[in-house]
Amino acid sequence: MSPVLALRIEILACHGLRHGLRYIHPLLDQDLINFALTCPPEFEYRDGLFRAPIRAAMDGIVHDAARLRDQDGLPFVELGLHIARLIPAMKSELNRLEKDPRLHDYFDFDFVRRSMDRQPTVKVAEAHIIQVATTGRTSQWPLNSSFIAISNMMALQKALDEEMPGEVSTASSKPR
């Protein structure tokens, strides 16, 4: 699992416990994650709401008040700063993974790189925290699935290394 996802789930679980709620995350299904990685980023945001495909799939299952609620941004504004600080390390990891030719049949490295380039900078994330602290209002935060893609690349590279131990990959550094 991606360290970012693990951190987010842990933060949300702790936040839920403070309010007497048990937080579960049904979207960790590997097939669902792989499908989401093939969708263009625009597919996720529709009619002013993020997670449009999931909201549509939950029609009739989840009450409309919850299903169609407006999301003002990240549930914890400091998570955006944490993610912004991870971008350089994740770009470095992406460059390392791109050297493994076995992964090119499975991932579009240029797409993932462009997706990461659209993430807000540390400076923008810091300004967002100040905005929330001073106004109490937050704006939409453009998260994308590039971190999940890199995590999946690392997992696939490890699996390929285990299946074909004689072949040399460029996995010179351990995944973070």
The structural domains of the chain, with segments of one domain joined by +, span 39-71, 72-163
Quick: pLDDT tens for 7-37: 777 777 777 777 777 776 666 667 777 777 7
Q: For the purposes of burial, counting CB atoms within 10 Å of the CB of 69, is it exposed (0-12), middle (13-18) or buried (19 or more)?
A: exposed
Query: Which pLDDT belongs to residue 100?
Result: 92
User: What is the residue-wise DSSP string for 61-106?
Assistant: TB-HHHHTPPP-S-SSHHHHHHHHHHHHHHHHHHHHHHT-GGGGGT
Highest mean pLDDT among 40-49, 79-88, 100-109: 100-109
Q: 80, 137 in Cβ contact below 8 A?
A: no
Mean pLDDT (the chain, rounded): 75
Does the pLDDT at position 124 exceed 90?
no
| Distance of alpha carbon 8 from alpha carbon 30, whole angstroms | 17
Cα 138 to the center of its chain, rounded Å:
19
What pTM did the predictor assign? 0.49
